[in-house]
Amino acid sequence: MEKPRRGGLTLCVMGVLLIVLIFVSFLLGRYPVSPGPLLGVCLHKLLRGLGGLLAPVFPAAGSWGITPFWDGNMEAVAWNIRLPRILLSCLVGCCLSTAGASYQGVFQNPMASPDLLGATNGAAFGAALAILLGGNSRIITLSAFCFSILTVAAAFLISRVAGGKRVLTLVLAGIMVGSLFSAGTSFIKLVADPSNQLPEITYWLMGSLSGARWNEVGLAVIPMLIGLLPLLLLRWRVNVLTLGDDEARTMGVNAGRVRLLVILCATLITAASVAVSGMIGWVGLVIPHLSRKLVGNDYRYLMPASMLFGAAFLLAVDDVSRNLMALEIPIGILTAFVGAPFFIWLITRKGDAF
């Protein structure tokens, strides 16, 4: 019982630290936000929202709220700019690290990451194509999401037609299709207008959450939840998959069906994440390994630990990206600067890092 207790305690500590980091992130920025007014704004918005839901039954609930004692600009900054960005940072970090942990489990490969099947390359092509055609931010996001799903679907179709081991063929097909879409992105950059389209494409490819607003959160949260919930519920079956298909069969688990479902859910959350944030690397590769150092290889604890750790990590990196310099640093650059040294530290430690 010692390991489960330790895993549960670690998850509780990680959850508390994430909440503290979320609160601190509200206070960081060029426009000052004080803790008291911040709590007042959040409580006022929650009461107004709850009152709106209960108003048809209890009319008096429609007047719930707090008499404002804060500046209107501060409310706009805290509620309309920082809160959506904080939520999106947590969601993207959670999804990328969860997808990485899922791929590493089902493929039994410590180097597996969310871009293994070409989802990120497809999203990059979709976003670049939408920018080339003059689409707005919503069209760019939808195009990135659709092409990301299309890339993985193409890899699945190729793996079904090809012979050999299904898992190996799927990975090879994903690498091939991803390379094809990567070449397409390079061609789009070649023909794009160098004065405005090319810089926009380049900036998107570096990854950023600077445009996070409530509509972006609303667009991404549904596919993210659809993918995250099954992965959380299936985490004990991922444990069985790591033992091999024969062992899974003896335990009554359909390894092929579970593997397919896990891959589909991991692909969905990867596509949703990349569509709203651009290319953010290393999170899905490094965070699951760091989570293993905290809770071990048991996916009952590793999956939620990866979710919490990924959310906290990307939120912290985003805080640095928007506060370190006068010009905001693309978050994809910072995750590479932070993730690569962490990974080097992991693989150079004494003993097997994985």
Cα-flanking dihedrals φ and ψ of residue 44, to 5°?
-60, -45
pLDDT higher than threshold 60 for residue 353:
no
What pLDDT does residue 1 have?
A: 43
Residue of 41 and 226 predicted with greater confidence: 226
Cα-flanking dihedrals φ and ψ of residue 211, to 5°?
-95, 15
Q: Which residues contact 265 (CB under 8 A, 6 or more apart)?
A: 102, 226, 227, 228, 230, 231
What pLDDT does residue 73 have?
A: 86
Residue of 250 and 9 predicted with greater confidence: 9
Contact 306, 100 (CB under 8 A): yes
Determine which of 19-23, 41-45, 57-61, 205-209 has the lowest per-residue pLDDT on average: 57-61
Question: How many Cα neighbours within 13 Å face the side chain of 277?
Answer: 36
Q: Which residues contact 318 (CB under 8 A, 6 or more apart)?
A: 25, 85, 89, 209, 331
2-33+71-341 classified as CATH 3.20.20.70: no
Percent of the chain with pLDDT over 90: 49
pTM of the model: 0.91
Q: Which two tokens stand for residue 299?
A: 């996916």
| Single-letter code of the amino acid located at 231 | L
